[in-house]
């Protein structure tokens, strides 16, 4: 998946806006939105919210998690934990990026928030790289990736799956070679655990 | 390079390498190279046939490694040649997606006749597939290549253009370096003309 | 402002085909649900090394819905708020459908012979390709073969049947993929040495595709 596709998927997240116009509900295929009442908050998909904001037809209500204290806590938890902590939103990077670049004025302490979010992302990326390193050295073929968000997963793509595919290929070749030699009586062990401990 | 220094299948490998190196949309079909490889294949095959006959009458096992070696060279030649042709097909297919059903004239000269035939058949087959999708409703798959960002795009004005009236009657002033968020369809022409620049 | 933009539920779309017992189910399905299914199929297809089962029924329903929406929008002013928003959504849906079908075509073109061989062994209900895709795959295989014949194969001496076999390109089913479990799935084999793991709903994993392909098929997990 290319970055533009990840963004496209993230744009389906629901956010709050406060429109400055009134309109009846719209029955979209993906679900209904509205009614829009000037000054009253309403939930819409991110792609629609961004569009309306660019047209100056609304103000964006920052998601609840875009808040300094909460994010500081998350950052500390992320630092302390060996594992990935659960992010407040599956698409936190896409949401932050789109909302903050389109409507910095709608987000109090926008710059500070931007920095913390980037910090959290960096901590997680570093953790991800360390675990990948350990994972590959441990010659595993399977790993649990709980709480990793789509975008984060794709920062290691295609390198991670490809390198694993290559390792697996070498292992199969090694096994085949071993099989050949074992049929010649040079080895009597074909235990797969040699390669996957 | 003196002929004696050459290995079997050098030419075939070169075909593949040359194609990979080429940054052209598609380099001219190497007629001569392909013929040379085919000749080498034929020559190796004939030599091997002769010696295989020799082997079966004489039973001379010392011929065995040589027969094997030639066979491997034969396989490598075939493999490289087919790779060359296949890699070209990939580029030819890409032409259909990029330029539509007509190959631009300057590119067409790079294709050999069977390649042009391949393109035409591919083009027709793809078109009829696209028409048949969804019980005949049809979708043009060569469009919508990237996720839609929006019906509107952000543009920066590169020169003082002046008044520009939108379809809904709104009039905007396109001043040098001013930025606007406008309906894509209505400003595409100005973008192509270089008056507006699509940003972000 | 009229309420003219209410789209009738999908049950209004005509169902000419005889899907035997599936008809009832499909008539009850909402457009929103169809879109979800199409989007999941799209994401799975993008991430799977092999071609997955076609989704012709869902795709046709979605196309019908899109056409219907376009019809309803015909009389709206192009600058009408409703027109713009619906149009934006339709572009998103069209993109998903086009991207999905393109991804399948790409697999069909890469693994043509392999896919056609496999299709021959499959029962009608198990077919991976739609009839249209199958026709396309056959034409493509023929076209490529004819080209190879014309330019090279006919000049190669002693071509063996085995060599045609060697030219078949197969997907690497053991390539690693990212998955998310949709439901709890107990004791899934996750390694070549038969190691087993219980997947809990919502959990994510990286794993060789082949070990979980049946979970994808049964919608117990999705590729991400």
pLDDT above 70 for A161:
yes
* Nearest by Cα to B67 from B78, B81, B77, B56: B56
pLDDT given at position A179: 67
pLDDT at residue C130, rounded to an integer: 94
Span C117-130, average pLDDT: 93
pLDDT band at A192 (very low <50, low <70, confident <90, very high): very low
**In terms of residues, how long is chain A?**
197
Q: Which residues pair with A143 in a beta bridge?
A: C206
Q: B159 and B95, same structural domain?
A: no
Which tokens in the block code for residue B103?
A: 């190959």
pLDDT at B70 over 80: yes
Are A141 and C208 in contact (CB < 8 Å)? yes
Angular region, A147: left φ>0, alpha ψ -120 to 50, beta rest: left
B91-100, C54-63, C184-193: range with lowest mean pLDDT: C184-193
Within this chain, do residues B74 and B169 fall inside the same structural domain, yes or no?
no
Domain shared by B99 and B128, yes or no: yes
Residues 6+ apart with CB under 8 A from B49: none
**CB-based contact, A165 to chain C, within 8 Å:** yes
Query: Do C164 and C176 fall into the same domain?
Result: no
Q: Tell me what pLDDT residue C163 has.
A: 78
Contact C204/C180 with Cβ under 8 angstroms? yes
* Category of B100 on φ-ψ map: left (φ > 0), alpha (ψ -120 to 50) or beta: left
Residue C213 placed within a domain = yes
C-alpha–C-alpha distance, residues A28 and A193, integer Å: 54
- Residues near A166 by beta carbon (within 8 Å), at least 6 away in sequence: none
Q: Which of A26, A29, A47 should we substitute to test contact with C (largest number of C Cβ atoms within 10 Å)?
A: A29
Determine, for residues C136 and B129 on separate chains, whether the beta-carbon distance falls below 8 Å.
yes
pTM: 0.84
Q: How many domains does chain C have?
A: 2
Whether C1 is covered by a domain: the verdict is no
Nearest partner of C48 among C210, C218, C220, C170, judged by Cα: C210
In a domain, C49, yes or no: yes
pLDDT, residue C2, reads 39
Q: B178: domain CATH number? A: 3.40.5
Consecutive H or E run containing C68 = helix C56-73
The two tokens of residue B47 are: 């030599």
Domain range enclosing C221: 172-224
Is residue B142 assigned to a domain? no
Q: Containing domain of residue B164, as a range?
A: 152-199
Q: What tokens appear for C17 in the block?
A: 């085909």
User: Judging by beta carbons within 10 Å of its beta carbon (0-12, 13-18, 19+), is residue A50 exposed, middle or buried?
Assistant: buried
**Residue A55's closest chain B neighbor by CA?**
B181
In order of C51, C99, C178, the CA distances from C103 in angstroms are 9, 6, 18
B62 and B10, same domain (yes or no): yes
- Number of domains chain B contains: 2
Q: Answer yes or no: do C63 and C105 share one domain.
A: yes
Query: Which CATH number covers residue A114?
Result: 1.20.58.1020
CB contact (8 A) between residue A8 and residue B147 = yes
Mean pLDDT of chain A: 84
Most confident of A131-140, A158-167, C17-26, C62-71: C62-71
- State the pLDDT at residue C110: 96
The nearest alpha carbon in chain A to C43 belongs to A1
Q: Do A54 and B147 touch (CB under 8 A)?
A: no
- Spell out where A4-146 has E strands: 14-19, 26-28, 31-33, 42-45, 58-61, 143-144
């Amino acid at each position: 998946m290319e970055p533009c596709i990840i963004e496209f998927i993230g744009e389906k997240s629901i956010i709050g806006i406060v429109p400055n116009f009134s309109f009846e509900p719209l029955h979209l295929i993906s679900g209904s939105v509205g009614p829009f009442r000037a000054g009253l908050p309403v939930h819409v998909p991110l792609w629609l919210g961004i569009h309306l904001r660019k047209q100056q037809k609304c103000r964006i209500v920052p998601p609840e998690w875009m808040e300094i204290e909460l994010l500081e806590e998350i950052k500390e938890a992320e630092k302390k934990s060996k594992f990935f902590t659960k992010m407040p939103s599956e698409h936190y990077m896409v949401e932050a990026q789109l909302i903050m670049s389109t409507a910095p004025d709608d987000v109090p302490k926008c710059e500070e928030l931007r920095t913390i979010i980037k910090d959290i992302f960096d901590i997680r990326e570093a953790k991800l790289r360390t675990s990948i390193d350990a994972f590959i050295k441990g010659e595993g073929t399977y790993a649990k990736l709980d709480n990793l968000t789509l975008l984060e997963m794709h920062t290691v793509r295609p390198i991670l799956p490809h390198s694993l595919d290559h390792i697996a290929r070498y292992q199969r070749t090694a096994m085949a070679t071993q099989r050949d030699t074992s049929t010649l009586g040079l080895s009597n062990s074909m235990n797969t655990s040699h390669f996957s401990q | 390079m003196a002929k004696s220094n050459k290995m079997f299948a050098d030419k075939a490998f070169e075909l593949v390498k040359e194609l990979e190196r080429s940054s052209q949309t598609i380099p001219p079909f190497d007629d001569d190279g392909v013929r040379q490889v085919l000749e080498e294949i034929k020559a190796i095959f004939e030599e091997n046939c002769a010696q295989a006959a020799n082997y079966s009458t004489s039973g001379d096992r010392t011929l065995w490694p040589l027969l094997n070696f030639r066979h491997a060279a034969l396989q490598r030649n075939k493999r490289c040649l087919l790779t060359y042709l296949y890699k070209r097909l990939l580029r030819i297919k890409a032409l259909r997606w990029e330029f539509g059903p007509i190959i631009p004239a300057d590119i067409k000269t790079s294709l050999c006749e069977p390649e042009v035939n391949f393109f035409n058949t591919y083009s027709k087959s793809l078109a009829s597939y696209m028409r048949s999708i969804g019980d005949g409703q049809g979708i043009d798959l060569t469009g919508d290549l990237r996720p839609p960002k929006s019906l509107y795009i952000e543009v920066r004005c590169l020169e003082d253009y002046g008044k520009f009236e939108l379809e809904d009657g709104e009039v905007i002033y396109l001043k040098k370096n001013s930025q606007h968020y406008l309906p894509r369809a209505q400003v595409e022409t100005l973008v192509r003309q270089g008056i507006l620049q699509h940003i972000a | 402002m009229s309420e003219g933009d209410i789209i009738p539920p999908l049950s209004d779309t005509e169902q000419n085909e005889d899907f035997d017992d599936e008809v009832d189910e499909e008539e009850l399905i909402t457009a929103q649900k169809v879109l979800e299914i199409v989007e999941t199929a799209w994401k799975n297809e993008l991430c799977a090394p092999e071609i997955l089962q076609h989704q012709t029924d869902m795709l046709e329903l979605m196309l019908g819905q899109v056409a219907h929406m376009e019809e309803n929008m015909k009389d709206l002013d192009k600058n009408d708020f409703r027109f713009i928003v619906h149009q934006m959504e339709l572009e998103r849906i069209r993109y998903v459908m086009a991207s999905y079908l393109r991804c399948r075509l790409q697999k069909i073109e890469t693994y043509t012979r392999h896919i056609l061989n496999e299709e021959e062994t499959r029962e009608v209900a198990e077919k991976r390709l739609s009839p249209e895709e199958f026709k396309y795959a056959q034409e493509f295989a023929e076209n490529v073969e004819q080209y190879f014949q014309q330019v090279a194969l006919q000049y190669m001496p002693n071509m063996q049947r085995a060599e045609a076999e060697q030219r078949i390109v197969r997907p690497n089913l053991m390539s690693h993929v990212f998955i998310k479990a949709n439901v709890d799935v107990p004791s899934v084999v996750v390694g070549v040495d038969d190691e087993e793991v219980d997947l809990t709903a919502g959990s994510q994993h990286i794993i060789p595709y082949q070990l979980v392909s049946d979970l994808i098929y049964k919608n117990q997990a999705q590729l991400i």
